[in-house]
């Protein structure tokens, strides 16, 4: 029996990927679950594992752009030993199950390629080539070093510009006094760790505060689709993590239903996986709102860029002791600036500002507002 | 449970290929054909018999007029037309039997008779009913007749009758200087008939580019064929011996007398006796069956392919469509790029083209570059003495994608193959120009023309 190896679902916004590495060549014998092909998307590298044990035939080559559902190759489960002749492609087709004729009504497929189709197809290739070629052709000078952008980098570049062009993005700021959270962590850390086996970090406070603020300002947890505004009734928060290959944003689902400890545990797993480069594409999908912490690198203030189709992203920054006025007295407090970038098409300034003010309130009074609730 | 998974109506190059492929893919298949023999127009009364006579007549013509250039004296060359016809008939016979054999080998069932749809899943063949899950209509086309000049297939002939003539007419008039007209005109002209064309348009072979048409006009005229362009036949008189055509041009009217008149003004779809109205299958005003991008009629399980859906009426187009439909029934989507379908006239020199016509590119405002390389500068053509014609390539001005190759030259029908591959794969002109071509071959002209489009040819 032959088992097809297909490009798995890569999540909501991803329809194609690039073959970045072929780990097992045609004709080799692979064990079930062995890694055979590596795919690169704009979000992550995904390895494809063998669905069965058998002799592998790979139909794609490195740098091929493949679509979700496309057959990358097949595994002949009956063949034993390392070598067997490649089966002609027709054989694969023959095994497809017979469809009932009634079911395949006007499938939307297009067999007949007209002159217009031809011209359109060469038009697109032309544009892509025009973009890529000049970079390759220019010679490196003594004062400059040129390297070709990776597929990941190119896609990131393209996506970032698209966000700027396709949304009405702007940023609002506030600041938060972190004293309460710092004190709480200091006092509770030991017992929290003992009880849950994980450190209580700052991030779980911000996630919980964001969820509560999002509940009050649901548009920020929404997105535009066509002429409709879709508001998510779930609270999936993406947390930006820097890795060697670039920024990754794993998503913690249903944060409203999770405890601080559960969130911290998930964050820990994600951080480890991100460092190893083994984050699955699934874990990067479905976010409704993102939190990005530039503070770990020392940033005082920044304007984060939205992660479409989301409408809001919170920027956390470095905590610095500053002189602030509290009840008419100048005191030293550990302060952090907060930034919220939002899509002004569906979020108005009043809501965005209100959201940040709420976050500030929650974070400055964490025990009553967050931990107790 | 229906009798068959696939029923194909028509066993021409569209239908028989679809039937064999369907069976090969494991579908229980029947092919229904009205003719006693399989193969449709192409094998019985079209491509195959005409190519037999074209080759026989060209050999005669060459031996009579061209052998002497090579130092071969052939003072008394004669031909026996009945033997040419017998040979042709034998070739046709062996081909149609070959399809019988292929049907048996591939377990395609064959029913002889006229098919008629009685409901969307049932076909009646002369009283007998068969049912099928999928139906492929591949009924082809037939020559268009002039109202005032009905085919008797003796003096007023269609292409079918012309291929069956028992003797060479002294004077032959051909209405329509398209591919079929000039091919059959070439046959009879080479064998001694005085051939005159009446063409409504201002050029011959209008499905090819204008410069190709013009070049063909010059060569054919030199070979002795006459053309009345921008003329039309307005009336006709047929007596026992001859046919008199009233021919009208912009300025004057004349009478054209001929022993035989071939009417080759196009073909019309065979779609009127299939019971299509009864089951409600839509047709265009001209009678072509309407299909969507997957060859589906308004019933998703009833498909139509080939001449009966219109487009270029070519055997290989029908075959490719048939294969696509069968694959689609099996759940596979094979794309068929119409731009990559070549078209050929088997005259001397042959004419072949694939891709866009220059006129179409102009109409669509596609920026392109064109280069023509003359066969005179091709070494192989020089050796054989077949120096007529040229190869023209068209490439996209900015991305250099090969957009068209148009050839008028000896063996153009074979030369066009590489161009079709290049267009199918959307290659650039540079890729074609950088492909090694054997020397000395006619195909080098394609390489040279490709070099010329954006750079310089080497041998000009």
How long is chain B?
460
Q: What is the pTM of this model?
A: 0.61
pLDDT tens digit sequence for A171-214: 999 999 999 999 999 999 999 999 999 999 999 999 999 999 99
What is the predicted pLDDT for the residue at B178? 97
Which of the residue ranges A84-88, B90-94, B327-331 has the most confident prediction, judged by mean pLDDT? B90-94
pLDDT at residue A252, as a whole number: 94
For residue A113, list chain B residues with Cβ-Cβ distance below 8 A. 335-339
Asked if B296 contacts B302 with a C-beta cutoff of 8 angstroms, the reply is: yes
Residue holding tokens 């057959």? Answer: A71
Nearest to A94 among B25, B296, B301 (CB): B25
**What digits encode the pLDDT tens for the residues A286-297?**
899 999 998 888
Per-residue confidence band for B321, with pLDDT thresholds at 50, 70 and 90: very high
**Domain residue spans in chain B?**
4-142+268-336, 156-265, 340-454
CB contact under 8 A, A102 and B338: no
Q: Is the pLDDT of residue A12 over 60?
A: no
Q: Which architecture, in CATH terms, is B156-265?
A: 3-Layer(bba) Sandwich (3.50)
Question: Could you count the other beta carbons within 10 Å of the beta carbon of residue B151?
Answer: 18
* Options A64, A196, A256, A344, the catalytic residue: A344
Chain A residues at the B interface, defined by Cβ less than 8 Å, are 93-94, 96-99, 101-102, 104-107, 109-115, 117-119, 121-122, 125-126, 129-130
pLDDT at A42: 65
Q: What is the largest CA-CA distance in chain A?
A: 84
Contact A118 B339 (CB under 8 A): yes
Pick from B26, B27, B337: CB nearest A113:
B337
Does this chain's domain B4-142+268-336 share its CATH topology with B340-454?
Answer: no
Structure tokens given for B141: 């086309």
Domains of chain A, with CATH numbers?
2-96 (2.40.50.100), 169-371 (3.30.559.10)
Between chains, do A101 and B25 touch, taking CB under 8 Å as contact? no
- Range in A225-234, B133-142, B281-290 with the lowest mean pLDDT: A225-234
* The pairing of beta strand B253-258 with beta strand A29-30: unpaired
Q: Are A72 and A26 in contact (CB under 8 A)?
A: no
Residue A344 a catalytic site member:
yes
**Which of B382, B376, B369, B389 has its CA nearest to residue B454?**
B369
What confidence score (pLDDT) does residue A139 get?
A: 60
Within 8 A of A115 by CB-CB distance, chain B residues are 338-339, 356, 360, 364
Whether the Cβ atoms of residue B120 and residue B276 lie closer than 8 Å to each other = no
- Which of B69, B70, B301, B439 is catalytic? The answer is B439
Q: Domain B4-142+268-336: which CATH class?
A: alpha beta
| A59 vs A330 pLDDT, higher one | A330
Contacts of B124 (CB under 8 A, 6+ apart): B115, B116, B117, B118, B275
Q: What is the pLDDT of residue A351?
A: 94
* Pick from A17-21, B81-85, B195-199, B291-295: least confident: A17-21
Task: Name the least confident of A7-11, B286-290, B404-408, B420-424.
Answer: A7-11
For B357-373, what is each residue's pLDDT tens digit? Answer: 999 999 999 999 999 99
- Residues in A touching B25 (Cβ below 8 Å): 93-94
**Chain B residues touching A94 at Cβ < 8 A:** 25-26, 330
Are the C-beta atoms of residues A129 and B399 closer than 8 Å to each other? yes
CA distances from A258 to A303, A365, A371, B387 (A): 28, 20, 12, 84
Residue that wins the pLDDT comparison between B354 and A163? B354
Q: What is the pLDDT at residue B337?
A: 94
- Residue A298: is it exposed, middle or buried by C-beta count within 10 angstroms (0-12/13-18/19+)? exposed
A-B interface: how many C-beta pairs under 8 angstroms?
A: 91
pLDDT at B345 over 80: yes
Quick: pLDDT tens for A296-313: 889 999 999 998 889 999
* A358 within 8 A of A213, measured Cβ to Cβ: yes
The whole-chain average pLDDT of chain B stands at 96
Grouping H, G, I as helix, E, B as strand and the rest as coil, residue B46 is coil
Query: Looking at per-residue confidence, does B390 or A3 come out higher?
Result: B390
Query: Please, are residues B133 and B220 in contact by the beta-carbon 8 Å criterion?
Result: no
Place of tokens 């072509």: B288
Whether residue B254 has pLDDT greater than 80: yes
Percent of chain B with pLDDT over 90: 96
Token couple for A219: 């548009």
Count of beta carbons in the 10 Å neighbourhood of residue A365:
13
| Confidence band of A132 (pLDDT split at 50, 70, 90) | very low
**Domain B340-454, CATH homologous superfamily name and number:** FAD/NAD-linked reductase, C-terminal dimerisation domain (3.30.390.30)
**Residue contact A109–B324, C-beta within 8 A:** no
Q: Looking at residue A94, what is its pLDDT?
A: 35
Whether the pLDDT of residue A136 is over 50: the answer is no
Q: What is the pLDDT of residue A106?
A: 47
- Look at residue A149 in the predicted model and tell me its pLDDT: 79
């Amino acid at each position: 029996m032959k088992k097809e190896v297909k490009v798995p679902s890569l999540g909501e916004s991803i329809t194609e990927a690039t073959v970045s590495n072929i780990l097992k060549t045609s004709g080799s014998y692979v064990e079930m679950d062995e890694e055979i092909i590596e795919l690169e998307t704009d979000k992550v590298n995904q390895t494809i594992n063998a669905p069965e044990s058998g002799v592998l035939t790979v139909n794609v080559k490195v740098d091929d752009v493949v679509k979700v559902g496309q057959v990358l190759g097949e595994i002949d489960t009956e063949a034993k030993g390392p070598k067997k002749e490649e089966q002609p492609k027709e054989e694969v087709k023959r095994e497809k199950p017979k469809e009932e004729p009634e079911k395949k009504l006007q499938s939307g497929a297009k067999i007949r390629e007209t002159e217009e189709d031809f011209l359109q197809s060469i038009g697109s290739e032309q544009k892509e080539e025009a973009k890529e070629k000049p970079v390759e052709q220019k010679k490196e000078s003594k004062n400059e070093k040129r390297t070709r952008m990776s597929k990941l980098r190119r896609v990131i570049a393209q996506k970032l510009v698209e966000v700027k062009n396709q949304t009405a993005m702007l940023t609002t700021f506030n600041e938060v006094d972190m004293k309460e959270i710092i004190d709480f962590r200091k006092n509770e850390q030991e017992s929290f760790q003992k009880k849950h086996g994980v450190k209580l970090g700052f991030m779980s406070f911000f996630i919980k505060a964001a969820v509560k603020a999002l509940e009050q300002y649901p548009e920020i947890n929404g997105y535009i689709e066509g002429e409709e505004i879709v508001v998510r009734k779930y609270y999936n928060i993406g947390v930006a993590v820097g890795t060697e290959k670039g920024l990754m944003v794993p998503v913690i689902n249903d944060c409203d239903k999770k405890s601080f400890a559960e969130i911290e545990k998930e964050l820990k797993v994600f951080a480890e996986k991100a460092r190893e480069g083994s984050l699955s594409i699934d874990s990067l999908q479905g976010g409704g709102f993102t939190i990005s912490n530039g503070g770990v690198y020392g940033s005082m203030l920044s304007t984060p860029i939205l992660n479409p189709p989301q409408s809001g992203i919170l920027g956390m920054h470095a905590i610095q002791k500053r002189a602030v006025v509290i009840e008419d007295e100048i005191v030293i407090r550990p302060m952090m600036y907060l930034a919220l970038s939002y899509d002004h098409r569906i979020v108005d300034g009043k809501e965005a500002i209100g959201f940040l003010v709420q976050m500030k309130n929650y974070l400055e009074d964490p025990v009553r507002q967050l931990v107790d609730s | 449970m229906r009798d068959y998974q696939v029923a194909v109506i028509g066993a021409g190059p569209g239908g028989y290929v679809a039937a064999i492929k369907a069976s090969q893919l494991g579908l229980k298949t029947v092919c229904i054909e009205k003719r006693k023999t399989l193969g449709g127009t192409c094998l019985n009364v079209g491509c195959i018999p005409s190519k037999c006579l074209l080759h026989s007549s060209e050999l005669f013509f060459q031996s009579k007029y061209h052998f002497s250039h090579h130092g071969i004296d052939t003072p008394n060359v004669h031909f026996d037309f009945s033997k040419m016809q017998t040979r042709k008939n034998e070739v046709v016979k062996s081909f149609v039997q070959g399809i019988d054999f292929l049907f048996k080998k591939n377990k395609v069932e064959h029913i002889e008779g006229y098919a008629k749809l009685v409901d969307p899943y049932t076909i009646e063949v002369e009283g007998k009913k068969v049912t099928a899950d999928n139906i492929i209509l591949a009924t082809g086309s037939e020559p268009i007749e002039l109202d005032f000049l009905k085919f008797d297939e003796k003096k007023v002939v269609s292409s079918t009758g012309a291929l069956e003539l028992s003797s060479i007419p002294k004077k032959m008039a051909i209405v329509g200087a398209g591919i079929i007209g000039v091919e059959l005109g070439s046959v009879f002209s080479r064998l001694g008939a005085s051939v005159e064309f009446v063409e409504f348009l201002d050029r011959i072979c209008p499905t090819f580019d204008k410069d190709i048409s013009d070049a063909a006009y010059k060569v054919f005229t030199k070979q002795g064929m006459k053309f009345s362009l921008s003329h039309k036949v307005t009336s006709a008189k047929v007596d026992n011996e001859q046919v008199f055509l009233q021919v009208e041009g912009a300025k004057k009217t004349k009478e054209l007398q001929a022993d035989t008149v071939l009417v080759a003004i196009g073909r019309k779809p065979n779609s009127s006796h299939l019971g299509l109205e009864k089951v409600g299958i839509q047709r265009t005003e001209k009678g072509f069956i309407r299909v969507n991008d997957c060859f589906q009629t308004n019933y998703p399980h009833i498909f139509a392919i080939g001449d009966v859906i219109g487009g270029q009426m070519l055997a290989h187009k029908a075959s490719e469509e048939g294969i696509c439909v069968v694959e689609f029934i099996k759940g596979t989507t094979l794309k068929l790029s119409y731009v990559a379908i070549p078209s050929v006239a088997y005259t001397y020199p042959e004419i072949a083209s694939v891709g866009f016509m220059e006129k179409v590119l102009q109409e669509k405002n596609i920026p392109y570059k064109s280069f023509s390389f003359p066969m005179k500068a091709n070494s192989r053509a020089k050796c054989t003495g077949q120096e007529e014609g040229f190869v023209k390539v068209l490439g996209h001005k900015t991305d250099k994608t090969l957009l068209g190759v148009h050839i008028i030259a000896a063996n153009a029908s074979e030369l066009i193959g590489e161009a079709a591959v290049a267009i199918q794969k959307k290659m650039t002109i540079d890729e074609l120009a950088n492909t090694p071509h054997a020397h000395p071959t006619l195909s080098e002209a394609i390489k040279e023309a490709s070099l010329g489009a954006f750079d310089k040819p080497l041998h000009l």
